[in-house]
Structure 1
Amino acid sequence: MTTLGSASADPGELDTGRLEVGETRDGTPIGLPVAVVNGAESGETLYIQAASDGDELNGVGVVNRVVPQLDPQELSGQVLVTGVTNWHAYQVAEHRNPIDDTKLNRAFPGNPDGSSSERIAHAVFDAATRADYVLDLHQGSTSRMINEVRVRCGRHHRMHRESLELAKVFGCGHILDQKGPEGQLARAAPDEGIPTVDPELGGCVGWDEESIEYGVEGVFNVLRYYGFLDGDVETEPQTRATGFDRYGSPTGGLVRFQKDLGDEVSRGDVLFRVTDVFGQLKAEVTADSDGVFWRSRRLPQVASGEYVCSVGTNVSTY
């Protein structure tokens, strides 16, 4: 029998339940929605979680579509799923946990006696470290971003090769291979010997069906490639960036982008122009390096110094 919180499934069964992670301000228990899919045949374990950031909903869309398609009678091994990880932020459609003003994906591996976010991180990290592979489903918050997968353990980590392979198998087409901040699940789980990636499924307000479909296909690629399900997966070359340049606006005004997401960028290319409200040019920002136009803000209005866009750099084919 395989369990996660109150979800419990014998071989060949699927069950859903709740993983308790604390209480609300009136003492009501908080339970994250979890699922266990226990295959009829023995095998490895895959852990999937979504909405570590409360406004990143494309991962929830992936879980919403993947779990009903999983037939435990056809599965070898187990799939453990946390459908909504940052419970407090999800309830109010915010990025950070409003109870402790913390970005949950900076709190791993967590602390059972710590803050609200640390307690949540500890509970789901315990589930993640039971797995052989981990998918932490994200998106570029509410900004615009290409569909990509992030390898965050760093290129000198002992689990880098395995995590990079997992990213390629997921197969969004773009990989950001750059060591992430401390406290990310995709940094903490490899320290426990578990290949882990952070698929960033586009960026939108609400959810985006195209990005969700990338995520659904990616999960099934992983399930087939690693033997959870029958079927072959042919990995395709990915565009891999190991650097990430961020650009802010030198002045206030309205942004007009000169590049689209996914476009190749050469050093000196104009990335965006800033005009005043009457269309008069105030500033022009060019690329410092060759790369790929990776991410951009959604709203056109900017203040001086405010974030505008990012370019993936040190690009190669992997």
Structure 2
Amino acid sequence: MTTTLGTASAAPGEFDTGRLEVGEARDGSPVGLPVAVINGARDGKTLYIQAASDGDELNGVGVVQQSIPQIDPSTLSGTILVVGIVNYHAFQVAQHRNPIDDTKMNRAYPGDRNGTSTERIAAATFEAATRADIILDLHQGSTSRMINEVRVRCGPRHRLHRECLELAKTFGCGYILDQKGPDGQLARAGPDEGIPTIDPELGGCVGWDDESIRLGVRGVFNVLHGYGFLDGDVDSEPQTRAGGFDQYGSPAGGLVDFQCDLGDRVSAGQTLFEVTDVFGQLKGRVTADNAGIFWRSRRLPQVASGEYVCSVGVNIDSV
């Protein structure tokens, strides 16, 4: 059966690209998101993939760019629906939030067809996503520095938690954050519709990072192999899970000197960073409240008092 997404249309064994119209720009011209359909030669599940829900998070776009050309529809069982760039307006100006309404896309799901610009895009992409059996919402830690991880955002008490956690383990970045997310996230809204959904956070950088993209491409193919879309084995490894974050701000204004690297195990009381003035004089030192993993940090060294500096993943176990 022919499958369509926006103007993309593919019969079994075919691939096509097109646009999914989501509104109009300020000059009245139509705004369409780049979409693709890979329709397998054999019946099977449907996978939905989207990237750049936040306009400056480009590693997911790199994953789409590199993984989709490697998938041969003649060897595929099932269908893959792809939205390559979700936050169209933010992507055009390399910003995190949609500049039309100053809104973060990944707080707007399931969206509203008659709402703001962001809500309309969320509604259109959510309609596409809920046609699927599995949802991958590709993100990164904005332009800060962060380890490669996968987020399970439905919460441990959700009826689909086990399925979402298994999907995160199959994707396999090495680290999992298993913590209920804010309202409006696709990784919250998808499971509420009965669809296992994960939010791979592929590092954090300005532009994109080759290693994070490589891990993301491997994750996509792990899912394709693990869920029967393609023949082959999952490239699996043990996953380290965090149940939440301790976040740290600066006690003073100045320059940050980190005492830990991303992915380091830290113990309670261990120094995470120091703050000095421009002449190197110590102004403050921050230590870990709990044992965990040094997970995320700001990119620029200059900070004001109280400004965010870093996060430590806590409640660590292995899954």
TM-score after normalising by structure 1? 0.99
1:1-318, aligned counterparts within 5 Å? 1-233=2-234, 235-318=236-319
The offset of 1:236, in angstroms, is 2.2
C-alpha distance in structure 2 between counterparts of 1:127 and 1:246, whole Å: 35
C-alpha distance in structure 2 between counterparts of 1:296 and 1:233, whole Å: 31
The offset of 1:222, in angstroms, is 0.2
The offset of 1:234, in angstroms, is 5.2
C-alpha distance in structure 1 between counterparts of 2:253 and 2:32, whole Å: 44
Identity of aligned residues (%): 76
C-alpha distance in structure 1 between counterparts of 2:233 and 2:149, whole Å: 22
* Residue-by-residue CA offset, 1:33-89 (whole Å, 9 max, x unaligned): 000000000000000000000000000000000111110001000000000000000
Q: What SS does the aligned partner of 2:190 have?
A: helix
The offset of 1:232, in angstroms, is 1.6
C-alpha distance in structure 2 between counterparts of 1:11 and 1:156, whole Å: 39
C-alpha distance in structure 2 between counterparts of 1:264 and 1:240, whole Å: 13
Point out where structure 2 has 5 or more consecutive residues left out of the alignment. none
The offset of 1:244, in angstroms, is 0.7
C-alpha distance in structure 1 between counterparts of 2:300 and 2:11, whole Å: 49
Displaced runs of 4 or more, over 3 A: none
C-alpha distance in structure 2 between counterparts of 1:134 and 1:305, whole Å: 37
C-alpha distance in structure 1 between counterparts of 2:32 and 2:244, whole Å: 38
Q: How many residues align?
A: 318
The offset of 1:157, in angstroms, is 0.3
Q: Alignment RMSD, CA only?
A: 0.5
Which amino acid letter does the alignment assign opposite residue 116 of structure 1?
S
The offset of 1:243, in angstroms, is 1.2
Which amino acid letter does the alignment assign opposite residue 164 of structure 2?
S
C-alpha distance in structure 1 between counterparts of 2:216 and 2:206, whole Å: 17
Which amino acid letter does the alignment assign opposite residue 205 of structure 1?
V
Which amino acid letter does the alignment assign opposite residue 65 of structure 2?
N
C-alpha distance in structure 1 between counterparts of 2:197 and 2:246, whole Å: 24
TM-score after normalising by structure 2? 0.99
C-alpha distance in structure 2 between counterparts of 1:184 and 1:248, whole Å: 25
C-alpha distance in structure 1 between counterparts of 2:278 and 2:152, whole Å: 40
The offset of 1:235, in angstroms, is 3.1
